[in-house]
Amino acid sequence: MLDWTDRHCRYFHRLLTRHTLLYTEMVTTGALLFGDQGRHLDFNAEERPVALQLGGSEPADLAACAKLAERWGYDEVNLNCGCPSERVQKGAFGACLMDAPGLVADGVKAMRDAVTIPVTVKHRIGIDRVERYEFVRDFVGQVAEAGCEVFIVHARNAWLQGLSPKDNREIPPLRYELVHRLKAEFPQLTIALNGGIKSDDEIAVQLDHVDGVMVGRQAYHEPWQMAQWDERFWGRRGPAQSREQVEEDWMVYLDRCVAAGRPWPQAMRHALGLWNGQPGARRWRQVWSDHKLKNEAPRTVQALATQARLAALEKAAEPAAL
């Protein structure tokens, strides 16, 4: 979710669900140790609970970055062993780490020795054409011995050659049964499933077999789906009572961005799916995406977008001409 789940995106998602654990985009250890730490790590207190997702392989660097995560107030630090991109492979981390479980275990141990917050691992069920269950079982077993108790498992192999990251999310077949088998074999561990989940009913089905479900791009593109999660999966009332109310709460945030000197379009791009599936949603998105309006105040653009949405809604409600 690089360039997707930044602090603006996470704030917007928190207007829809209060209890879902949110994850940052993957941040490399090098970016934190040698770059602008505040730019990568600062977040709004309203985003919690939130986990920092790390990309890296050197145990000492991972430990140092885990300390930064704890100092900044993150609730969890997650090691990414699932990203298949060539750029990540050149850095010797991501999905290729599944072929080095000992190194992952060393990294997990170093982080656990350095911090008190949970250290978790996200990974695939295999790499390239290695489709044996024993491969992922042994990976989880060895990393668990180092103290990791939570594994988020993308239920596809990562093909490290010949496929783009997008293709790696679509072409290797989903094998949920392997993730279910992991949970059965490691009942003491927390096993969450990731990959291909679209609907709330599908989430509920998976929760009969595993401890959690991670939803990525589906939640990003159809954010209103998250508005039902607190009540359905936690039995608690969520913060989102209507799209109009969420939009108003989001306007307050955009006003904060402007007051802090941050361009509001950088944040607004994450909320363009709010009205998806409703009459007028396309016109609403078009107004907010109009570059000619990027220097206007958010409230001005909101008024224009709402006017366009309601006009489209009224037109859709007109009886068809005889």
Instruction: State the first-to-last Cα distance of the chain, in angstroms, to the nearest integer.
Output: 49
- Give the CB-side neighbour count of residue 122, counting CA atoms within 13 A: 29
CA-CA distances (angstroms) from residue 154 to 70, 272, 287?
26, 27, 36
Which member of 83, 96, 148, 257 is catalytic? 83
Query: Rounded to an integer, what distance in angstroms lies between the CA atom of residue 247 and that of residue 11?
Result: 12
Structure tokens at 226: 């998250």
83 assigned to active site: yes
DSSP string, 140-187: HHHHHHTT--EEEEEEEEE--SS--HHHHTTSSPP-HHHHHHHHHH-T
- Give the CB-side neighbour count of residue 54, counting CA atoms within 13 A: 31
Which residues have a catalytic role annotated? Answer: 83
